[in-house]
Structure 1
Amino acid sequence: MLQYLSREQEIQVETWLSQLTLPEKISLLSGADNWSVAAVPRLGIPTVVVSDGPNGVRADRASSRRPAGPTNSYPTGIGIAATWNRELARQLGAALAEECREMGVDVLLGPCVSIMHSPLGGRNFETYSEDPFLAGEIGLNWVLGLQHKGVGASVKHFAGNDQERERMRVNVIVSERALREIYLAPFEKIVRRAQPWTVMAAYARLNGTYASENPWLLRDVLKDEWGFEGAVVSDWFATHSTANALNAGLDLEMPGPALWRGHHLQEAVDTWQVPEETLDDAVRRVLVLIARCLPGQVPPRPAAVDTVERRALAREIARQSITLLKNERDLLPIPTTVKKIAVIGLNANTRVTGGGSSFVKGLYWVTPLEGLRRA
């Protein structure tokens, strides 16, 4: 029996699978659009809506079932990791799940547990640490908090996506020992102990083969060795082949409409490049994802996004993430007679959330200068 799936849900998945036509199966293996998975109305199989994260729910109209608008922007990954607080990470995951439910989002695209390998990595703020243990512990509890509330996680970017320069085609050369001890360790912990509903395959090539079509990475390690039961989804436009990717273990091509699936996959199945059992395994994993999302698919609730409790959580994470707020016991050599501290440079008013897929249009922001004044 699959973890986090009832016997009734398993029966539903197998019933769906037995009733699907080949074209319907193929349609489920690529996105319907940028933010959703295809539905099969004939069988009552609904769509699944995904949204960017992980430090907030991207509330644009396309990635949610309600009108766009500002949402809570929580401290970024590097901030929550700086707290060294597992319980806070779990509370953050739970809070994000509640907001996802209010917005009609089924899967939040996070957490990012890529290792901070390069100090120039443009998305280092989004992930947790250069320490695989810390990244694994914080990411694990974030996932547990999120999925306990009925929203799926998408642990990313699997694996070796630790720099932004040439990330679409860079070839990451790394030994198996270093991979297992450092780069794969956070993923392994989360998969074995939380069974995330999805894992996102990275853009990069790993030892010569794109992660999205790397059979050693996706099939041998993730699915067979670690026992991953969920769906492997590509990073957006990270799919590079039809048969090779599906045979390697990439279940869902995103976004849609399909570039490498669709009629290309139909041809690959017809010419025996993709065995029927491989196709059915991928379809089953997508159906499991849909079945897991079904209980939470209620009409978006018109709730107040900006609540006292959510502000308090964001503030507490920020407070615990600060390395030094008060100079107690003269930790810094600043005389007690000093009454003013100069804050110099652009960083006094720098942005407090990074760009790219983790950007969230926050309800409010407190700059470093404002925070120091209030402290």
Structure 2
Amino acid sequence: MEIKKLLQEMTTEEKAAFLSGKNVWQTRDFKRLGIPSIFCSDGPHGIRKQAGAGDHLGLNASLPATCFPTAATIANSWDEELGEELGAALGEEASVQDVNVLLGPGLNIKRSPLCGRNFEYFSEDPYLSGKMAASYIRGIQSQGVYACPKHFAVNSQELRRMAMDSVLDERTLREIYLTGFEIAVKEGHPGSIMSSYNEVNGVYANENKHLLQDILRKEWGFDGIVITDWGGSNDHVQGVAAGSNLEMPAPGLDSAREILQALKEKKLTMEELDSCVEDLLKAVMTLSAKAKNKKTSFSKEEHHELAKKAAEQSAVLLKNIDNILPLAPGTKVAVIGDFAVEPRYQGAGSSMVNPTKLETMEQVMRNYDLEVVGICRGYQRSGEEDAVMKKEALDLAANAEVVIYCFGLDELSESEGLDRPHMRIPQNQIELLKAIVQVNENVTGILSAGAAVEMPWHNCCKAILHGYLYGQAGAGAMMNILTGKVNPSGHLNETYPLSYEDTPAFRYFPSAQRISQYRESIYIGYRYFATGKVKVQYPFGYGLSYTTFEYSNIKATEKGVEFTLTNTGKYDGAEVAQLYVGLPNAIVFRPEKELKGFKKVFLKSGESRQIFIPFDDKTFRYWNVKTNRWETEMGTYHIMIGSNVEDIRLEAELSLEGTTKEYPYNPAKLPYYYTGIIQQISDQEFEELLGRPIPSGKWSGDLDRNDAICQMYYAKSRLARLIYKCLTYLKKKSEEKGKPDLNILFIYNMPFRGIAKMTNGAVSREMVDGMVMAVNGHLFRGLKKIIGGFFANIRANKMYEEKLKNE
């Protein structure tokens, strides 16, 4: 049936109900019209379809699926072809499991190393993020499944993520936080996109017309559906008016009644409703048709090998003193570390995958020509000291030629719903490392972590191989690199600072109260470190190889840059050539250099190749806040080719006339933004950049439905404060166990309104208002409203369901 005809045959009640989920993972179906349900599932690095009844909090186990390396890992490959191959495998597994919409990839910018969800995101750089996301999307959608890139937009912290306002200037929004999404949309053409929990400049992302209408649909030409993050709908009517198509997971029919009431009160037009319904109908009918041709199985072994290949190409060799790697055949090795026995291979949260199989270093060691003198855990994963384990490790280390030390961040450090308190690896792991080097100086560290860490201990290791969170086949991948079967070719997707205090958002992260001020502006990651000449541990784009590469013969034209790349070493290998662009003495403040292109090139030993990296519409642009459009500043641009942001091998110049007639800034009023020294921006200077006063993020004294449950320490009700203390106690106890309780974390950070959005219609907005009333000290009035709302909600739901049945 044609979509237009189907739309005409739907009643207004059906249309209103259609825009919210039927249950945790499915859309509503209407049998009389032949409209089926479609199924959504988490899984940016592996499918997480639950085996029992669906629940967003993950109480029920998920079906087995391939656990590929996380996005933060794959971004180190700088390989779009690999991204597309992984996307196709994810799409295939989704299709086999009857999943229509795969909720990923995640491509939020790594504003701070402390964001607990950084392991799910590609990079601190929007260009690299966008290119990798687009490749995933193309792969996923080649299998008849929609990708759903997330979280749109400016979602950079987990603390109070559903009740937090990201405050930033339009240029920073466009250049840093939206460019990755722009590339993903324009080059990947996703069928859906997920709006984020947070507000952006005072308006919730899911009802933000500037984001969803002006930019996403009108400027970028997005023609898919917008899906809320789970529980991320604030005002459903405003969301529909902004063009958000699907409210998830299952708010019940209270949301549908809100739409009907808004139509009556003319707060929503029938045209706005029909537009959202029509887009969702197209998606549902298209995906249902594609699902008829789906596969019934996939090769678990082939996908496992792909996961291994991905881990091999993404691992970063950070250090290799005296060419200790690759290990010579027959080397006597001691394998030490809890991660060798029980690997850290993925993060925690909604992306957690139940792997089809799982390799460990302990298991795979027997497959290599090495003499293993022993394997032991060495340290407690929980962080506690253990003298017996430590002595066993030191005895093993003393009897080996080389120690392979497996260490890194534990599960508690990297989880959805929880930001890291610091950048350090658990101290007991570092104390053991320092003790090992006293008995054996030949230590090769295998680092497992999904985000940057401080590395004051790096001198204890002769070699450091960073596998990030390498998925289910990562152990074999690490051994293939250690023994030289694979030449490492990963390059860092993010900067590794000397200390957290050196990072640009240090003083502004996380949010204070409800407002997160992005005072660092465009100076994120390497943009800040390179401009401010801040020394780092390892720069953005850094990565070693067992071979060497020479760059020569650069030539820049208006179309792009050409140069020669030669493998001058004795091993075949791949290099990531990176294009950076800068404009010295610019009139509009900007970073010293910005990534504008890259190419991963495999060369045999002694081979040379001419490499061409084209310029595109993003190479020279900046967002002019005065003219409200993309422009180019006139001047002589530096075109730089390097192996990382600090290792520039070739430079050329290119003069451009530019388009700017009206410059956006008065340098005298933005002195620190023009120097790049942005760690202590004053209120006055930030307000000049914003073009408006800084909003107040302080609570007024009364909580409202948009405040998080963790804010009940402000509550006037003693009972509410007691509930808060109990929840805080449970959260602390779960953290002490070393693995976060995701259910507690979700509830802790959830605003009161989320109770109405996450309970399948059992709780209405009226009941939530009663809860808030009780929390604010009006217990009996609040209880009266809750009880009255409960019975009113039951009656209204039954009446609505009868209408839907009788249509």
Q: TM-score, normalised by structure 1?
A: 0.89
Aligned residue pairs: how many? 361
Q: Secondary structure at the match of 1:293?
A: helix
**Are 1:171 and 1:205, in contact at CA under 8 Å, matched by a contact in 2?**
yes
Aligned-partner Cα distance in 2 for 1:335–1:152: 44
1:122 counterpart (116, 120, 131)? 116
1:284 maps to 278
2:134 maps to 140
1:131 maps to 125
**Are 1:72 and 1:305, in contact at CA under 8 Å, matched by a contact in 2?**
no
Matched, 1:319 2:312: yes
Aligned-partner Cα distance in 1 for 2:352–2:241: 34
More displaced, 336-345 or 139-148?
336-345
Q: Secondary structure at the match of 1:357?
A: coil
**Are 1:218 and 1:250, in contact at CA under 8 Å, matched by a contact in 2?**
yes
2:33 maps to 43
Matched, 1:227 2:221: yes
Aligned-partner Cα distance in 2 for 1:140–1:83: 15
1:110 counterpart (99, 104, 107)? 104
1:71-130 Cα offsets, whole Å, 9 max, x none, are 110111011111111011001111111111111110100010111111111111111111
1:177-197 Cα offsets, whole Å, 9 max, x none, are 111111101111121223211
Aligned-partner Cα distance in 2 for 1:366–1:91: 21
Aligned-partner Cα distance in 2 for 1:81–1:93: 13
1:261 maps to 255
More displaced, 312-321 or 341-350?
341-350
2:47 counterpart (29, 34, 57)? 57
2:208 maps to 214
Distance change in 2, residues 1:256/1:299 (3 Å):
farther
**Are 2:17 and 2:253, in contact at CA under 8 Å, matched by a contact in 1?**
no
1:241 counterpart (225, 235, 238)? 235
2:358 maps to 365
Q: Secondary structure at the match of 2:281?
A: helix
More displaced, 11-20 or 276-285?
11-20
Q: Secondary structure at the match of 1:155?
A: coil
Distance change in 2, residues 1:166/1:350 (3 Å):
farther
What do you get for the CA RMSD once the two structures are aligned?
Answer: 2.7
| AA aligned opposite 1:93 | G
2:22 counterpart (32, 53, 56)? 32
Identity of aligned residues (%): 39
Offset at residue 343 of structure 1 (A): 5.8
More displaced, 171-180 or 135-144?
171-180
1:5 maps to none
| AA aligned opposite 2:214 | D
| AA aligned opposite 2:10 | L
2:153 maps to 159
More displaced, 293-302 or 118-127?
293-302
Distance change in 2, residues 1:347/1:259 (3 Å):
farther
Structure 2 unpaired stretches of 5+: 56-60, 362-405, 407-474, 483-807
**Are 1:201 and 1:234, in contact at CA under 8 Å, matched by a contact in 2?**
yes
Offset at residue 206 of structure 1 (A): 0.9
More displaced, 276-285 or 242-251?
242-251
1:353 maps to 346
- Structure whose residues are more often strand by fraction: 2
Distance change in 2, residues 1:266/1:339 (3 Å):
same
Q: TM-score, normalised by structure 2?
A: 0.42
Offset at residue 264 of structure 1 (A): 1.3
Query: What does residue range 147-226 of structure 1 map to in structure 2 within 5 Å?
Result: 147-226=141-220
1:189-228 Cα offsets, whole Å, 9 max, x none, are 1212232111111011111111111111111111122111
Aligned-partner Cα distance in 1 for 2:253–2:149: 23
Aligned-partner Cα distance in 2 for 1:335–1:274: 68
**Are 2:138 and 2:189, in contact at CA under 8 Å, matched by a contact in 1?**
no
2:785 maps to none
Distance change in 2, residues 1:131/1:146 (3 Å):
same
Distance change in 2, residues 1:233/1:340 (3 Å):
same
Offset at residue 269 of structure 1 (A): 1.3
Distance change in 2, residues 1:232/1:304 (3 Å):
closer
- Structure whose residues are more often helix by fraction: 1
**Are 1:104 and 1:299, in contact at CA under 8 Å, matched by a contact in 2?**
no
| AA aligned opposite 1:272 | K
